[in-house]
Amino acid sequence: MKHARYQDGMTILEALIAILILGITTTAITSLIVTGDRIAGRRTTIYTATTLAKSEIERLRAYEKSLVLPKDTLYDEVVNGVEYEVKRNWIPNDTISMNSTVLHREYSVSVTRKINQSVSVSFRTLQGYYGEPTQ
């Protein structure tokens, strides 16, 4: 009888500890899964934004031998149902080239996910021109 009562007490304690452990484990697991999904989501966003920036910079490079310089641009792109804003700016700080044969300009290219307006990625590049472009 004494032995049986001891056993009952342990069962409640065991159950409580088990519930506690289960709770902690479930919270940890949920948190880890959410983090994992967040990483995956962030990766997709950053990767897509970088790809869009690469495309824009390739467009910029096409002007290398052009006779006109590209103008600043701002446009939206939808990739897998997510809307991104692509912005390319000429940074006028560093544009004077003393050399008459090769001119280069500094540009900033940023891609923003439009849902929460957070800047996903931002790049800086120099683009040279030797097609004697007009300003």
Which parts of this chain interact with other proteins (CB under 8 A)? 4, 7, 10-11, 14-15, 17-18, 21-22, 24-25, 28-29, 32-33, 35-37, 39-40, 42-44, 46-47, 49-50, 53-54, 57, 91, 93-94, 96-99, 101-102, 104, 106, 121, 123-128, 130
CB of 119 to other proteins, least distance (A): 11
SS (H, E, C) the chain: CHHHHHHHHHHHHHHHHHHHHHHHHHHHHHHHHHHHHHHHHHHHHHHHHHHHHHHHHHHHHCCCCCCECCCCEEEEEEECCEEEEEEEEEEHHHCCCCCCCCEEEEEEEEEEECCCCEEEEEEEEEEEECCCCEC
CB of 8 to other proteins, least distance (A): 9
CB of 76 to other proteins, least distance (A): 20
User: Nearer to other proteins by C-beta: 78 or 102?
Assistant: 102
User: Nearer to other proteins by C-beta: 46 or 82?
Assistant: 46
The alpha carbons of the chain give a radius of gyration, in whole angstroms, of 29
CB of 116 to other proteins, least distance (A): 18
User: Nearer to other proteins by C-beta: 24 or 68?
Assistant: 24
